[in-house]
Amino acid sequence: MRELYPPREPYNSGYLKVSDLHRIHFEESGNPQGKPIVLLHGGPGGGCPPFYRQYFDPEKWRLVMFDQRGCGQSQPHAELPENTTWDLVNDIEKLREHLNIEQWVVFGGSWGSTLSLAYSQTHPDRCKGLILRGIFMLRQKEIRWFYQEGASYIFPDAWEEYVKPIPINERDDMLTAYYKRLTSPDAQIRLEAARAWSIWEASTSRLFPDFDLKQRFGVDTFAEAFARIECHYFINKGFLQPEDQLILNVNRIRHIPAVIVQGRYDVVCPMMSAWELHRAWEEAEFIVVPDAGHSMSEPGIRSALIEATDKFAGF
């Protein structure tokens, strides 16, 4: 079982203006002469905590991480206008050009896997490899499973807390009901909804619940960006057309070396999505971790991801 690499600080960080409204925070860590890799975080709206750096050998990788529009240290905070999947795909390219990187490996989990697929299918010539985890393709059946009915049968106790901010007569469409509150002009209404939304995901992300994760997701600043941006993307169907776009366009990336890591008991992004991607893209290595849920920090997923980054560093 592989352990994380030691903590380290970035050797470069800054802001990149990507539109008249948004500027994104980025950092580089590891070896400035190493193989470039970009990490696309989850959410959308999750940001990049420092421990993400520890999944990559600091002697071999030049790791680029950035907070996507509206979250983490990017500015303005929790902002929804000019915040779409294709805006983010463009941001990745702007950052690559800003850092004078010709090609890089792309690493993404959960929503990060969605964005990795969208980016690589748009710019396959810029991708030397893909490391994907907890596959999410933002289709309606995936959204309904987690936010309307499905995961509630496995976590009824956490679900009870999730539905509390929503009146009974609005619970037949939880996504719309939450969007109404997360975009309310009343800050207290927004915050109550944001914390409930975020804690629901934290409560279901691991095979064995993690109280510290629930606390982190419940912090006001994190919760507001995470919940507002997620709900914004989901209500807009990920800005994908058609909704199976990411599977239908697999031929564009079939030639790129790739690995897919999936927890068997992932409730947030159930294994069916990873399986459907695997069946469409059998050239990609497919790893099922038998004793894990969704979180990249669970031991089996952590180990599989570090093995993958070590292997790709040698290509």
110 is catalytic: yes
Written as one letter, the residue type at 99 is L
DSSP character for 288? E
The residues near 105 (Cβ < 8 Å, ≥ 6 apart) are 35, 36, 37, 38, 127, 128, 129, 130, 131, 312
244 is catalytic: no
Catalytic residue among 29, 74, 110, 295: 110
Q: What is d(CA 97, CA 103) in angstroms, rounded to the nearest whole number?
A: 10
266 is catalytic: yes
Q: Which residues pair with 65 in a beta bridge?
A: 27, 39
Half-sphere exposure at residue 79, Cβ-oriented, CA atoms within 13 angstroms: 18
Q: What is d(CA 98, CA 105) in angstroms, rounded to the nearest whole number?
A: 16
- Map residue 284 onto helix, strand or coil: coil
Catalytic residue among 22, 74, 294, 295: 294
Break the chain down into helix, strand, coil percent, rounded to 5. Answer: 45, 15, 40
| Burial class of residue 32, CB neighbours in 10 A (0-12, 13-18, 19+) | exposed
Torsion of CA 263, 201, 270, 293, to 10 degrees: 20
Catalytic residue among 232, 266, 273, 295: 266
Buried b (16+ CB within 10 A) or exposed e, 38-74: bbbbbbbbbbbeeebbbbbbbebbbbbbbbbbbbbbb
Buried b (16+ CB within 10 A) or exposed e, 174-190: beebbbbbbeeeeeeeb
Q: What is d(CA 292, CA 307) in angstroms, rounded to the nearest whole number?
A: 16
Q: What is d(CA 309, CA 315) in angstroms, rounded to the nearest whole number?
A: 10
- Map residue 281 onto helix, strand or coil: coil
Give catalytic residues, as residue numbers.
110, 266, 294
